[in-house]
Each structure stands twice: as C-alpha cells, then as structure tokens.
Amino acid sequence: MHILLSFIPLLFLFVLHAAYVKLSAAVMGRSLVSWKHSFLFAGLVILVTLIERIGSVLTGISMPLTVALIYGIALQLALGSWFFSTRGTTRNGQRFGWRGGAQLSAITVALLGITFFGLQGIVRIAGIAGQP
C-alpha cells in the first residue's frame, strides 16, 4: 500500500501539467488543445524526465541545480514545439506550427514555475511561523 501512495505526487503532477497545458491554450487565445493531447504531452514530459533521472542515477553524473533547471526548461520547450506543432490548432483550424507549440510550452512552464515557487514560499513561511 505504501508503494501506491508514493505515486500520488507523480499523479498530481501529471494532472496538473495537463490542466496547465489547457489553461495555457486558453491564455494564448484562439487556441485549441484537446484533453487527450494535454495528457499525452504531460505523460511524455514525465517519461523523458524519468528516463533522464534514471540515466543520471545509473551513471552517477548529476547536474548542478541551475544547469538542470535550464536543461529541463529547454527540453520542455523543444518537446512542446515538436508535439504541439501538429496537434495544437487555432480556432480557425490552422495548426500551431513550431512557434505556437513553443509559446504554449513557455506559458505552461511559467505556470508550473509560479505554482512551484508559490508553494515553496508558503512552505517556508509556514516552517518559519511554526518554530517556537
């Protein structure tokens, strides 16, 4: 049972990422992305991240935090450009293209970053306030 509970954060991240892809399309305006493609992209990002992490652990090579963040953002932008270039459409039915896919991914990364840093700030404030 404990093993199944350890997958809850990953499942939450998967759903949050897919929802942020849909929200990003709405923020872009005149853009449509299906839930199916949102979840497929979220799964793809998580899969690539897990493969990279497993490779890092197996080789014993780890990146500094700043390099890892830049690498992760660049990877997500590249994957989003490729993935949504043919799967995202405007309300007119035209495909996003590489540029539109990159814009969608950039907004998604920004939303995820805002959420992460917001939650991190809340945890720090709660941790400081909880000390005697």
pLDDT score of 15 more than 90: yes
130: pLDDT strictly greater than 60? no
Domain ranges of the chain: 12-129
pLDDT by residue (tens digit) across 49-60? 889 889 888 898
The SS3 call for residue 71 is helix
pTM for this one?
A: 0.84
Contact 117, 125 (CB under 8 A): no
User: Is residue 34 classed as helix, strand or coil in its secondary structure?
Assistant: coil
Question: Is the pLDDT confidence value at 121 over 80?
Answer: yes
46-55 LR contacts (CB < 8 Å, sep 24+):
46/10, 46/13, 46/14, 46/17, 48/75, 48/79
